[in-house]
Structure formats: structure tokens, C-alpha cells
Amino acid sequence: MRSNIIRAYKGVHTWTGILTGLALFIAFYAGALTMFEESLERWVAPPGRHAQTPLVQADALIAAALAARPEAAKQFTLHLAETAPLGRLTWQKGRDDAQPWSAELDAAGELQLVRLAPGGVAQFVDTLHRTAGIPGDHEIGETAMGIVSVVYVVALVSGLIVLLPSLIKDFFALRVGRNLKRMWLDAHNLLGITSFPFHLLIALTSVIFCLHDPIYALQDPLIYDGKFRQVTASSGVLAQAPKDPAAAPMLPVQALLDQVAELEPGFQPSAIEYRNAGTGGAVARVIGDDPRYLVRNVGFVVLGAVDGRILNTDYLPGHQGSWSAVVAAFFAVHFGTYGGETMRWVYFLLGLGGAFVFYSGNLLWLETRRRKAKAGELPAQARASRWLAAGTVGTCLGCIAGVSAMLVVGKWWPGVAPETVYYLVFLFCVAWAFIAGAPRAAVQLGWLTALATAALPATSLLAWLLPDSGLWWHAPAFGVDLVAAAGALMLAWAAVAAGRRARGGDADSVWAQPASSQPLPPSGRGPASACQE
Amino acid sequence: MSDYRKDYLSKTLAAVILGLGIAFAGSALIAWGTPGGPAAPNKFQFVMWVVSPLWTLVLALVYLFRNGRRAWLVLSLANLVLFGAYLLIRFLHS
């Protein structure tokens, strides 16, 4: 009976994995990049867009901005970091406004208003992470990814069950050699098992991030007798805010920060979000981080901006109720918002490793279904195999190439919308993979992806060599160039390996380039290798 | 015993439907059965969160059942017990 169960779970693992693998590859690749999304934004953005106004002039800036633009009083954000990327003070017209306004005081103390360029690359990488690039309303993409996440939990647990009996034997084995399938399987298992806890936490939290609305909707009649709105309102962070529309002077920024420091000296504020500024009901949400705690994506404390009274500490690390603290921990393990820079890199690598697990899973599916050559006769590989091979190559390489191209184009031509570049490159790669067939596309798209990624450090190098070119590079974003250079080298190595496999590998592989003497399989007929390097 | 059957469709449906019932009944029990009741400040978020591990746990482990019928039977019973307990708690609170 035991072996029957294992066999059943093998089937479950195979099909759940194949169904979700490609969407998860995109989500993980983009998710890994979100760990450094500020650096990416920084890499693309022209110099001088970060905050100019010294923090000591913040009060004068707020007064001047509100006098010039009274509509900003409803809600604006004061950024506290020395070099806040968006500027010192920003506000949006409504929630979906992709072009926030930014206010600064110039050297003469005059107010400067700028409308920021639309939709930054960081925002698109984040969207890509949450929706896997499913176009249309974000809610559609997120709901779809919620279902993908549910299936992904099943894939994870089933994978563990399949591996359990041979775990001790196979765990640290990485049999590199002639048996390619064995090697891919070992790599898939080794990475999968070592990062299993990470994957499980990511999967379980993703289900919630994507499906919280329908879950709340079902719980409303079941648990709250239809009074869910009242329950959330009484837990709301602004529930204690005074309702007073009469004009009233606000405390200086420093006084608010002192108040927070007195309450919790370990809290490190990074921004203050004001609401109803200049009225008796003005509130200041001081947003920040506390490295000693598992912080939600951010922590914050709400104060009255007029009297400095503490109004809500439900999201201030160390001052939360136990329910909030547990939920904050769920958030933290997804976003990697604990343990500082070290965990940021760990999450980056785990994210990339996760993408590799999904990619290798698809390769294993293909190897398992290989139609072997018998007595010198070469069978055609199944259409499903050829399509999955093309889809895997096109999606994975298209995603990487699309993001790289988006960053580079964003720097050379700042007006171009990032998502346009991404989708053009991604869809081209997927289409080309099916037109040219997996063996050729793996090599050609491999080189394309390596070149697109190498274009990042190349652009920075050019900017450094030719300062008059109008290009720019930022020392603080130099890490982006280093990582991109390393990534480009690895992609180039993979492209070389794919070429070797296509020409000299097993002829009965779905990756083997059909010899010219043989008739080409129907979907393997590409236009004469025009793109061949 | 080698009368194990895969019954993928039957087991999967049982876990999707009845697993959802278990997850929601479990979350309702936590909401009403822990101190403060469902209106305790910020508890509602935790109550929502537990649906994910409960539902996916059932989905992931359902293939351990000997056959689809057994899965439906056992998971239905679990639903009866959990929803029964929830009704009891609500009755005691009323």
C-alpha cells in the first residue's frame, strides 16, 4: 500500500507542478528582484530625482506645499531618508494615480513642484511578482495566482512525500555526469528539500495575499453575522482619530519624531503620512522599521498631528496585540522584512533558487517522457513534449529578457512605459520559441537574454566612460550592475551549453537539433537560422 | 492491504469542497472559541489567515485516503463535527 501511495503522489506532484511551474517561475524571478526594487528604480532613474530639501526645512516645505496646493492636505507623505528616491514630499490624486506630485524647496527657499514620471520599474516588477504578468485588472491576475498558490502547496507537500523514502540516500547526492536526468533530478531534489520551509511559507502566505477578499466575504455571514464592516472599523488604525475640520496648527516634524522615539526608541522612522493636514483632525502615520522584530512589510504608529497624542500602536513592533503580532510574522516571512541586509540577500537567492526548481521540474517532465532511440531508429518526440519544451524556454527566458530589457530601455528612453517593453520582449520570446522550436530557441533566446542582461552593466560602463553622453550611473546602484554582469555570464554559459546539447547531445532528446538530412518535425521548422550567432 | 485506489478526481473534489468546509469551520471555531470573541481587536486578520493552511493541508493529504469514497466519508464526518462544535459554541454564547 505504501508504494501505491507514493506512486499516487508522484502523479499529483507531476501534474500540479506542470500546471503551475511557469507561472511560479515568473512570480519567483520577479519576487527575487523585488527584494532590491529600490536599487532597480535607482539604477533607472535620472540623477537628481531623489529628495533635495534638507530634513530641517521639512516644516517650511509642508507649509509652502499646502499653501500652493491645498488639495494635498487630504493625504501626503513626507519621506525622511536622506536620499528618498521620490523626493522629500509627495502626494497622489487618488489611490490609482500612477504619477504622484513631488514638492521641494530649492536653494533660495522657493517651492518647486514636479509631476513624477509614470509607473516606475519597481512598481511593474512588483505587479509582475503578484500576477505573473497576467494582463488586465490586477485582481484577475492575483486571483489566478491565488489558485496557483493553492496548487503549489499541494505540489510541495506531494514532492516531499515522494522523496521521503529515499531522502537519506538521495539528499546530498548530486550525481553530475553522463546521466543528465539523474543530475537534474538530484539538483531539483536538493534545492527543493533545502528550501522546503521557505517555499511552504511563501505558498501559504501567497494564498492569503491573493484570496483574502473572497475569504472575508465568506466569513462575513458565517462568523460575523454580516457585521464584518463594524468589526474591521473598530480595529481600524484611524478609529481613534479626532473628527475636527476646523483649522489648527500642526506640531513640527521633529516633535512628532521625538514623541515616537520616546514611545519606542528602537523604531526607525522612514516616512510620515499625513491626513487632513492643517485641521484639528490631522493625523500623522509614522512609518518605519524595527530590526529587532518580525515586522510586517512596514511597521507604523499613528499620532495626532496637532497634539502629538498616540492614537494607535497596533502595527508598531513590540506594541502590537498578540493577534497582530502573529499576523505581522506571517507578513514578515513572506517579504523577508527581518534580519536586515543578510536576509534580503538570502531571500533574493531563495527566490532565484525557487525559479530554478520550477524550471528543472519542467525539464524532468520532458526527460521522463523522452522517446528513446531504438536500434538506430530515431522516433519523433511527442508533440506535448515539444510544446512544453518550447513553452518553458520561451516563458523563462522571455521573463528574464523582458525584465532586463525593460530596465535598459527605461534608462535610455525614459518616456517608454516599462510594461510595454516587458510584454513586447516576453511575447516575442514565447512566440519565437514555438516558431523556431525548443532546440534552436534555447540557444538563440539564451543569447538574447544574456545580451539584454549584459546591457545593464554595459550601459553603466558607457555612462562612466562618456560622462557627456547624457547617460548616467549611480554609485549606490552599482550592485545592480555587478549582479546583472554575473547573471549575464551565467546565461551565456547556459546558451553555450544549450548549443552543445542541440548539436552533440542525445539525438533522441527534445532538445536535439534535427539533423538537416532528416525531415523536420512539424513544429521544429524555423526560418533558416537567421538569428544564429 | 493493496486495495489503494488513486481516485484523483473524487479525492480532489472532496478536498476542494469538504476541505473548504473544514477550513472555514476551523476559522469560525477560532474566532468564537478564543478569548474576546470574533470582535477582539485585529483578531479578524488571524481568523482569515488560518483558512489557508487548513484548506491546503486537507488538499495535500487527501491522497493518503484509501479511496475516494473514504475521503468523502471521513471529510464529511470532520465537517459535521467541526460545524456541530461551532453551532454549540454559538448556542452557548447566545
Quote the pLDDT of residue A382: 85
Report yes or no on A179 lying in a domain: yes
What pLDDT is stored for residue A96 in this prediction? 66
A227 and A346 inside one domain: yes
Q: Å from B21 to nearest chain A CA? A: 11
Helix (H) or strand (E) holding A453: helix A438-465
Among chain A residues, CA nearest to B4: A1
**Residue A105: pLDDT over 50:** yes
- Asked if residue A404 has pLDDT above 50, the reply is yes
Q: Is residue A218 a part of any domain in this protein?
A: yes
Check residues A47 and B72 and name the one with the higher pLDDT: B72
β-strand partners of A271? A79, A287
Contact yes or no for A205 and B52 at CB 8 A? yes
Residue bearing the bigger pLDDT, A166 or A73:
A73
- Of A368, A394, A429, the one marking the end of a domain is A368
- pLDDT-based confidence at A234, cuts 50/70/90? confident
Q: Is residue A284 part of a domain?
A: no
pLDDT at B65: 95
CB distance A288 to A298 below 8 Å: yes
- A140 domain residue, yes or no: yes
Same domain, A6 and A24: yes
pLDDT at A319: 87
Residues A330 and A401 in one domain: no
Q: Please name the residues between 309 and 328 in chain A that touch chain B, using a CB distance below 8 Å.
A: 314, 320-321, 323-324, 326-327
Regarding whether A462 and A477 lie in a shared domain, the answer is yes
Task: Using CB atoms, pick whichever of A150, A153, A235 lies closest to residue B44.
Answer: A235
**Arithmetic mean of pLDDT, A43-59:** 79
- The total domain count for chain B is 1
In a domain, B76, yes or no: yes
Nearest-CA distance from A41 to chain B in Å?
Answer: 32
* SS3 state of residue A289: strand
What is the average pLDDT across B85-90?
A: 96
Closest-CA residue of A relative to B55 is A150
Average the pLDDT over A206-213 and give the result.
95
Range of the domain at B63: 19-93
Residue A34 lies in a domain: yes
If asked whether residues A18 and A138 sit together in one domain, one would say: yes
Q: How does pLDDT run across A379-391, given as a tens digit for each residue?
A: 888 888 999 999 9
Between A459 and A117, name the one with better pLDDT: A459
Q: What is the pLDDT of residues A287-299, one digit of tens each?
A: 998 888 888 778 8
Calculate how close chain A gets to B56, using CA atoms only, in Å: 6
The verdict on residue B66 lying in a domain is: yes
Give yes or no: residues A85 and A156 share one domain.
no
DSSP string, B10-44: HHHHHHHHHHHHHHHHHHHHHHHHSTT-TTSTTHH
Q: Give the strand pairing for A75-79 and A268-275.
A: antiparallel
Does the pLDDT value for residue A148 go beyond 80? yes
CB contact under 8 A, A234 and B41: yes
B48-81 per-residue burial string, b: 16 or more CB within 10 A, e: under 16: bbbbbbbbbbbbbbbbebbebebbbeebeebbee
Is the pLDDT at A176 greater than 60, yes or no?
A: yes
* Mean pLDDT (chain A, rounded): 87
Domain limits at A380? 375-533
CB within 8 Å: B8 and A12: yes
On whether both A135 and A103 belong to a single domain, the answer is no
Using a CB–CB cutoff of 8 Å, tell me whether A205 touches chain B: yes
Contact B59 A324 (CB under 8 A): no
B55 touches chain A (CB under 8 A): yes
Same domain for A484 and A403? yes
Q: Is residue B14 part of a domain?
A: no
Tell whether A355 and A443 lie within a shared domain. Answer: no
Distance CA B91, CA B83 (A): 12
Q: What is this structure's pTM? A: 0.89
- The residue ranking higher by pLDDT, A284 or A415, is A284
Q: Quick one: average pLDDT of B70-84?
A: 97
* H or E stretch covering A443: helix A438-465
**Spatial distance between the Cα atoms of A422 and A427, rounded to a whole number of angstroms:** 8
The chain A residue lying nearest B39, using CA atoms, is A231
Question: Is 70 exceeded by the pLDDT of residue A262?
Answer: yes
A91 lies in the same domain as A32: no
Residue A226 and residue A333 in one domain: yes
Interface touch B52/A228, C-beta < 8 Å? no
pLDDT at residue A520, rounded to an integer: 44
Per-residue pLDDT at A379: 82
Give which of A100, A103, A121, A129 is closest to A31, Cα–Cα: A129
Are A73 and A149 within one domain?
A: no
Which among B47, B59, B63 has the least Cβ separation from residue A219?
B47
Tens of pLDDT, residue by residue over B17-27, are 999 999 999 99
Going by pLDDT thresholds of 50, 70 and 90, the confidence category of residue A522 is very low
Structural domains counted in chain A = 3
Q: Answer whether B28 sits within 8 Å of A205, measured CB to CB.
A: no
* Helix, coil or strand: residue A117: coil
B contact residues 27-46, partner A, Cβ 8 Å cutoff: 27-28, 31-32, 38-46
**Which residues of chain B are within 8 Å of residue A212 when distances are taken between CB atoms?**
48
Q: Of A86, A115, A144, which residue constitutes the final position of a domain?
A: A115
In chain A, the residue whose alpha carbon lies closest to the alpha carbon of B43 is A323
Q: Is residue A528 over pLDDT 50?
A: no
Q: What are the distances in angstroms from CA A512 to CA A359, A373, A516, A528?
A: 18, 12, 12, 16
**B76 is written with which cell numbers?**
464529511
Nearest CB partner across the interface for A4, out of B4, B24, B31: B4
Which pLDDT belongs to residue A108?
83
Beta strands in A276-432 (DSSP E): 283-289, 299-304, 310-312
pLDDT at A95: 67
Mean pLDDT of the region A122-135: 91
Comparing B68 with A108, which gets the higher pLDDT?
B68
**pLDDT average, residue stretch B64-90:** 96
Cβ contact, residue pair B39, A223, below 8 Å: no
What local confidence, expressed as pLDDT, does residue A295 receive?
80
Of the residues A67, A87, A115, the one at which a domain ends: A115
Instruction: Answer yes or no: is B5 within a domain.
Output: no
Closest chain A C-alpha to B26 CA, distance in angstroms: 11
Instruction: Give a yes or no: residue A146 inside a domain.
Output: yes
- Asked if residue B9 belongs to a domain, the reply is no
Q: Is the pLDDT of residue A532 over 60?
A: no
Cβ of B56 within 8 Å of Cβ of A158? The answer is no
Chain A CB contacts of B41 under 8 Å are 234-235, 314, 321, 323
Contact assignment for A234 to B53 by CB distance below 8 Å? no
How much is the average pLDDT of B50-76? 96
Residue A242 located in a structural domain: no
Q: Is pLDDT at A185 greater than 80 in this prediction?
A: yes
Residue indicated by cell numbers 513631488: A102
Query: What is residue B2's predicted lDDT score, i.e. its pLDDT?
Result: 63
